[in-house]
A and B are shown apart, each in its own frame.
Chain A
Amino acid sequence: KEAAFNLSLILKEEMKNTSWIRKNWLLVAGVSFIGVHLGTYFLQWSAKQSVKSQSVIKRKNMSHLEAKKPSLCESEPLASERFRTTLSVFKGIVSSCYGPTGRLKQLHNGIGGSVCTTSQSSALLANLSVTHPILKILTTSLQNHVSCFSDCGLFTAILCCNLIENAQRIGLTPTTVIKLNKHLLSLCTSYLSSEVCCCRISVDFSSTHLLLCLVRSILTSKPACMLIKKEIDHVSALILKAFLLTIPENAKDHIILGKSIIIPLKGQRVIDSTVLPGILIEVPDIQVMKILPVKKSDSLKVALFCSSLSGDLSDTGEGTVLVTYGVSLENAVLEQLLNLGRQLVNDGVDLVLCQKVIHPSLKQFLSVHHIIAIDRVGVALMEPLSKATGTQPIGSLDSISPNSYGSVKDLRSTKFGSKHFFHLLPNEATVCSLLLCNRNDTTWDELKRTCQTALHVLQLTIKEPYILLGGGCTETHLAAYIRYKICNEPENILKDNGCTQVELQLIAEAFCSALESLARSLEHDGGDILTDLKYGHFWSVQANSPSVNWQDLLSRCGCGLYNSQEELSWSFLRSTHQAFMPQTCLPHEAVSSDNNLTLDCFTSKISGLQVAVETANLILDLSYVIEDNN
């Protein structure tokens, strides 16, 4: 169109000037008209051709297997600028999340979809997409640790980053660094698991005091749950209660813990959360209206089906099945289902649960006979249901052995918020339901993750009945211990590893400063970190405070065990001070009385320490990276 318009303009101009054109305007107009049309035709034709050839090329590519591209090989990857910047960015992310005052991270994909606000390593690592191969090793290692132990993910991440950075700074050969790091690690673990260690508390299960402190510390360290003090107390009590409900009453030589099922109730107040023994099954409200709970005896007979009761045909084999005209298999199957229903009625079953779908006719039949039928229970609930009711999941439609029925003590229908539930109260079971409320989806998700972590940590604690002091105290104490050991008795390590005293000092300093800077990253508000020179604990002080009278400025150490009124002397954590042997005795009365201790899970912290050092060693040992770009 534009071309034609231009042409007409030109024609107008020409017409003014030349008389010939004006005389033969009809001819000129005709020729230009034809020309314009021919031009557009050719344009279109060529465009079509190009599209065609492109599609031909595409088809050709599809039919041929493309040759593999050669990989990219990078030597000394740790020295590259790319790795350093990536690592420092990653360290920035994880260390800013650490601790009760940690900053939150908002994760979203930029094209809508849910937003995740978190400061937890599990959510953070699962959502971060890492492309640098070495960082990928680091993150997968952290994720594996978190999925094993739930706790101490950020601890591991920050420690690992610190170790790598420090090792690169001192610039010794990787062989020496790896060997000595391993040795220092074994020094740490053997100290932490020894009896003399004074940041380890053995758990007394006769009181819930320490366990409650542990759960509360976990809840406090997750600021994204948005809980106030009162709510933290409430939820930690619930979590501990839920955990205690999963412990069987008459335990034999080995305990098999039950399961606590977390049920979401979003939009309610946190204070409304509760824990119930037994299993809650959510049902649409219409069904609840029909239920007529008739209780014949003190327990209800339960049948649990794992096969579908919807009337579909089962596997008929590899051959063909020929059905004569007029034979309705649907009717036959339905007849079979109703027979089953009759048998259930005869056996006096009160409650029928089905993993899959129950045919409406069967449901109708059962409800006529006052049997409650709940279908679509789902595979996740099958195991707890089967355990709690003592049933054998039934897979047959024809005959049911009476052995496979189970029983529950009671069945109630309850309502929480806007949801209706059946509440199965088993006779004697280790299953409980934790109804968890929070204001919105994001905070609920965070709270759920925190609850799972806390439950897992409690399970780990029952396996290995020790707890470590939290709040950075374990880290500073450990660093002080290692400094002292290296200063005063380096002979053993030197003899074993064949390295010089200087190398050992350098690497031990790097290791200790990695631990201390891990403790320092608990502080996010610009405050200063001090350590006392008696216990080696962690003390934080507000920013820009005059360093005259520490005793009045400080109140309690990180874990809350010691207060500043004792005769202590302090030093800045980053400054160099005389190596000292931290005092190795634990004030037992303080431990058993104090309600505000900050505690950490022993098992996951030890494992986190090991994983951090092992992963750092692994990364420091790399000499090449081969990237397959296919």
Chain B
Amino acid sequence: SERKSSPTTYRERPGLPASSPLLPLRPSPPRPIPAALNSSRRDRKPPEPWGLWLLRALQVAEVLETIVSGCLGPDGRQVLCTKPTGEVLLSRDGGRLLEALHLEHPIARMIVACVSSHLRKTGDGAKTYIIFFCHLLRGLHSVTDKEKDSLVSKNIQTHGRYWKNCCQWKLISQTFLTFQTQILDYIVDHYLSKHFLSVFPSPTKVKTLCRTSLTFLLDAYFCGRIGRNNQNFISQLTSDYFFKCMACESGFEEVFELVDDCFVELNIGVTGLPVSDSRIIDGLVLHRDFSVYCPADGEMSIVIVTDTIQPLFSSSGSEFVLKSEAQFQKSQFWITERTKAIMEHLQNQNVKLLLSSVKQPDLVIYYAGLNGISVVECLSAEEVSLIQRIIGLSPFIIPQASLQSEISNPALVKFCKPLVLRSKRYVHLGLISTCSFTPHCVVLCGPVQGLVEQHKDALHGAFKMLRQLFKGLDLNYVTPAGDQNYISDPFTSKDSRKNNQLPEIFNDSIQRPDRDMIVKNKNEGAKTETYLKVYSNLVVPSKELKTGTPGSTPKMISTDTYQTDEIVRYLPPNKTRVIDDPEPLESTPLANSTTEDTKNEISYENLKVTETAFKGSILSVGDESPDTCSSQNYCSSSIPAGSVLPVGGNFEILLHYYLANYAKSCQQSKETMVVSMMIANALLSIPRLLYKAKKGNNSFPQIYVRAVHALQNNQPVLSSHTGLESVAGKYQLLTSVLQCLTKILTIDLIINIKRQPQKICDQDSEDEL
């Protein structure tokens, strides 16, 4: 009966046999068409018919999917990559794996390029990207197969046919694009947004972070990124690190930004020690030793130089004429005296530490040692800029004439001492921060370099993900003004009159208290108050509901944080009154249509839709044009910063549900409907993979049925996971997969050329000059 409930989702895919010892990066035996990833299309003269093209892309994606799906989710395993230099690297990071494969096939290279550009932006989701992409292609492929059977069989495959086919594919890709730009945003904004949770404990303007929600986020993130036996430890380490770095409650965005930018300088890898020896060190650690170290106590001034302190005979572009030996000796003497004077001057200013981005001559080191100034040389530009960012100090410029002037803004250091980690010496600085970042360093230990690198990458990715999470994401879409009935939820549209928006708000409001309670239960006594923010563009642009304790009455606050419309309409008082008394509303005529048979019916329809409707769409694509321009209504909204959903495919199941409903209700344009259906089905692939190994109550069919049932009854969707994941990240992933697909669909032919594509750049002309 489970199978019946959603037949489309249980189609067994013809995957690769997992037991094959060598994965077919070379031609695989079980595949009918060889060369899955390595193109052999150089010899082929006539262009391939489009179906084959798609098949090829699908094969490529499937091979990638097999590799990637082994690492997905909490039960994923590690992959060992060897580099040509002989290093070995452990990884579960999808992006790194794809790069390590050095794929040759042009489509594969394109996919990898798309994935890595997505990763640069968000730092997460490469594996999900590939799996989702592969399932979309599979959906497209199954549709084309049908189409070919019914239509093409009569025709001879000619070039004319091929080009015609291409035109249609272009249209399909355009549909994908329209879907991505218009429908997706609409659905996210209208339906999905009511499920969003927020990581911020209070909906005030001053955002603060609570440790519990951050831990949930990080736990979920590291589950997919590093080996199983270190996940909890590294997650704990990361959240400790973050809270230690945060100077004040409010400036956490700045901290994320800084840590993300300068992560290389903020960590130290130590090999040979067990992972559990990793720790956080107060202060900044520079990856080099003192050139000269003079122990000093108390606070001291610090100076950064970017040039050699010792004056040289001649600077670049000038000429120094030596006329006699005496002159040479005198100038040598002057140089010595001058250096001595500068160092003494620095000592007088209580400078105890000199940081230099260049190598200083022996003379400078000698006088520094005599004057009790510790010197650290050869700092990288990144280290210098990090120090400058933390303490707000500009490099010291040696005055040309007199040394009387005081150093303008001396920065202070609490301590500076050598730090020995595994017989390697480092410089340990206790910088006094002037920004919201309190400098701390994380020491990552591991038995092998490969593991340390993996943890470093994961930590960096986590900060990138968090940084992304706390940015709001804009949603822009077009609503056909008169078509409210069309787009809205089928159940609500059936039962409530659209002109009166009151019941809808009721529905939202009723379920809120219990939803909140469940969140509370889930957190299990952790003192987090999770607040649900519900955005509804229908009545007020933004309203937030705060429920302090389960028993208290819901209170409505209307804020203007995310509002974009000009008019703010406050709720009429009678609505609030109704909400205060939730008893009569429980019998809203909502629940009567949500029964098991409806679900079955929907699912059957979904199946039918994918199989049959596309025919029509392909035929009718040409003559439909968007003619609703006049009645369009441009809306813009946003996914608020810090929106999260529980992990475990929650986002996917929710979006699947709403997309399927949308597709069902959207009778107007067939191709949009087909595309939405296809995307909805592809979305389910991720939770299905996640729960593959689970049995009984936690198996995918059970979870799916439960979720759909809950949604139909307007009950909160329960999740067995405590982890959280960013909604914006997921949304971005979806859009970039669609963009990548569009890109691949619009290409009609791959031409193999012998040389690099010539770059048009201005450098040539400069070289000639």
Contacts and interface: CB of A to CB of B under 8 A. Distances in A.
Interface string B539-573: 00000000000000000000000000000000000
Measured as residues with beta carbon below 8 angstroms from the partner, the interface class of chain B is: 35 or more
B363 A395 contact: yes
Contacts of B237: none
A324 B322 contact: yes
B314 A73 contact: no
A179 B228 contact: yes
Contact of B228 (A141, A319, A610, A621): A621
A623 B78 contact: yes
26 contacts: A70-B38, A72-B22, A73-B67, A75-B20, A75-B23, A145-B272, A149-B272, A306-B366, A317-B312, A319-B315, A319-B317, A320-B314, A321-B322, A323-B322, A327-B322, A335-B329, A393-B369, A394-B366, A607-B273, A618-B78, A623-B71, A624-B70, A626-B79, A626-B97, A627-B81, A628-B102
B370 A392 contact: yes
B449 A322 contact: no
B521 interface: no
Contacts of B77: 174, 621-623
Interface in B260-285: 271-276
B222 to A, nearest CB: 15
Contacts of B229: 178-179, 182, 614, 617
A70 B102 CA distance: 5
A77 B79 CA distance: 10
A140 B83 CA distance: 14
A141 B104 CA distance: 33
Interface of B: 18-23, 25-26, 37-38, 67, 70-71, 75-84, 86, 88, 90, 97, 100-104, 227-229, 271-276, 312-325, 328-329, 332-333, 336-337, 340, 361-367, 369-370, 422-423, 447-451
A80 B21 contact: yes
Nearest to A186: B276
A324 B228 contact: no
A397 interface: yes
A628 B102 CA distance: 8
Contacts of A28: none
B447 A329 contact: no
Given A319-B320, A320-B314, A75 B21 contact: yes
A491 to B, nearest CB: 22
Interface residues of A, number: 78
Nearest to B422: A148
Interface in A599-617: 607, 610-611, 614-615, 617
Contact of A71 (B25, B228, B325, B365): B25
B19 A76 contact: yes
A395 B365 contact: yes
B80 A624 contact: yes
A329 B322 contact: yes
A392 B451 CA distance: 42
Nearest to B37: A70
B104 A70 contact: yes
B23 A318 contact: no
Interface of A: 67-77, 79-80, 133-134, 136-137, 140-141, 144-149, 174-175, 178-179, 182, 306-307, 314-324, 327-329, 331-332, 335-336, 392-399, 401, 403-404, 607, 610-611, 614-615, 617-618, 621-630
Given A328-B325, A335-B329, A623-B79, A73 B101 contact: yes
Contact of B23 (A74, A306, A331): A74
- Most chain B CB within 10 A, of A68, A615, A618, is at A618
B450 A401 contact: no
Contacts, number: 243
Contacts of A80: 21
A69 B102 contact: yes
Nearest to A156: B447
A622 B79 contact: yes
Contacts of A79: 21
Contacts of B332: 336, 397-398
| Chain A interface mostly | mixed
A394 B362 CA distance: 8
Contacts of A323: 322
B70 A74 contact: no
A621 B91 CA distance: 11
A315 B312 contact: yes
Contacts of B67: 73, 624
Contact of B325 (A321, A322, A331, A393): A331
Contacts of B320: 316-317, 319-322
A140 B88 contact: yes
B454 to A, nearest CB: 10
Nearest to B324: A327
B420 to A, nearest CB: 10
A261 B319 CA distance: 49
Given A71-B101, A327-B325, A614-B275, A140 B80 contact: no
Given A624-B70, A630-B102, A73 B22 contact: yes
Nearest to A629: B84
Contacts of B23: 73-75, 624
> 3 shortest A-B CB distances, which residue pairs?
A319-B314, A395-B362, A317-B312
Contacts of B71: 623
A178 to B, nearest CB: 5
Contacts of A332: 325, 328-329
Given A323-B322, A398-B333, A626 B227 contact: no
B80 A137 contact: yes
Contacts of B70: 75, 623-624
Contacts of B86: 136
B337 to A, nearest CB: 8
Contact of B274 (A134, A306, A327, A607): A607
A321 B314 contact: yes
Nearest to A149: B272
Contacts of B336: 396-399
Contacts of A336: 329, 332
Given A622-B77, A628-B84, 13 more contacts: A71-B81, A75-B21, A133-B80, A145-B272, A307-B362, A320-B318, A323-B322, A327-B325, A398-B332, A404-B370, A624-B80, A625-B82, A628-B102
B581 to A, nearest CB: 45
Contacts of A331: 325
Contacts of A321: 313-314, 319-320, 322
A251 B369 CA distance: 25
B191 to A, nearest CB: 36
Contacts of B363: 307, 395-396
Contacts of A623: 70-71, 76-79
Contacts of A314: 361
A139 B470 CA distance: 43
Contacts of B22: 72-75
Nearest to B24: A73
B717 to A, nearest CB: 25
Contacts of A182: 229
B286 to A, nearest CB: 20
A79 B50 CA distance: 40
A175 B23 CA distance: 23
B88 A136 contact: yes
Given A175-B228, A318-B315, A626-B97, A327 B323 contact: yes
Nearest to A627: B82
A404 B75 CA distance: 63
B82 A322 contact: no
Nearest to B325: A332
A137 B91 CA distance: 13
A157 B76 CA distance: 27
A74 B321 CA distance: 68
A1 B451 CA distance: 67
Contacts of B26: 72
A489 to B, nearest CB: 23
Given A174-B77, A611-B274, A72 B25 contact: yes
Given A319-B315, A327-B328, A625-B79, A615 B102 contact: no
